């Protein structure tokens, strides 16, 4: 897998966090400037501040920062987790069926938001942005729930991961 990897090698080595993330470029079928900006911001923010503790790996003594690769395989989110030296720790597959509707709703509201930025009033933009945040927050809560027992994470990390999950689902 390849991607636009982001790295944060100046972080403490014993923390349970993501230090590097990459998206499977073969999964991403299409993107525009708005989507590319969302991806860049999500990755930057995620690397800057996150909580990510793969439970089974941590129980076996693994410590971060972790290297995370995201892909969609057979309708599931694949999370390939490695240590900082790229040694494979574990791969998680998370069913995406429960995310289909939030992803579809998020795409629709983001499209409205991008159009509004170009021609709507500030009040209209704010209303659409509030709806966008609401969908994003609900999806992040769902992701935290789906990762329970597999990965300990916080809400902000889940929000950014959901953004990247959406990027993996873009169809041209």
What value does the mean pLDDT take over residues 126-134?
93
CA 12/CA 116 separation, integer angstroms: 41
pLDDT at 101 over 70: yes
Average pLDDT value over all residues in the chain: 87
Q: What is the pLDDT of residue 8?
A: 40
Each residue's pLDDT tens digit, 13-48: 448 999 999 998 776 666 677 777 888 888 999 999
- Contact (Cβ atoms closer than 8 angstroms) between residue 75 and residue 168: no
Provide mean pLDDT across the span 150-159. Answer: 96
Alpha carbon 123 to its chain centroid, in Å, reads: 29
């Amino acid at each position: 897998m390849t991607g636009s990897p982001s790295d944060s090698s100046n972080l403490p080595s014993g923390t349970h966090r993501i230090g590097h993330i990459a998206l499977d470029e073969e999964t991403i079928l299409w993107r525009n400037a708005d989507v590319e900006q969302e991806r860049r911001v999500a990755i930057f923010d995620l690397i800057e501040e996150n909580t990510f503790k793969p439970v089974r790996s941590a129980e076996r003594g693994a410590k971060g920062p972790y290297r995370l690769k995201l892909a969609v395989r057979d309708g599931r989110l694949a999370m390939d987790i490695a240590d900082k030296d790229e040694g494979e720790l574990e791969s998680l597959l998370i069913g995406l069926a429960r995310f289909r509707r939030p992803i579809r709703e998020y795409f629709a509201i983001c499209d409205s938001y991008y159009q509004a930025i170009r021609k709507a009033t500030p009040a209209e933009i704010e209303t659409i942005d509030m709806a966008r945040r609401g969908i994003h927050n609900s999806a992040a809560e769902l992701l935290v729930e789906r990762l329970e027992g597999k990965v300990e994470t916080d809400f902000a990390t889940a929000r950014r991961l959901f953004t990247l999950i959406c990027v993996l689902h873009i169809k041209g």
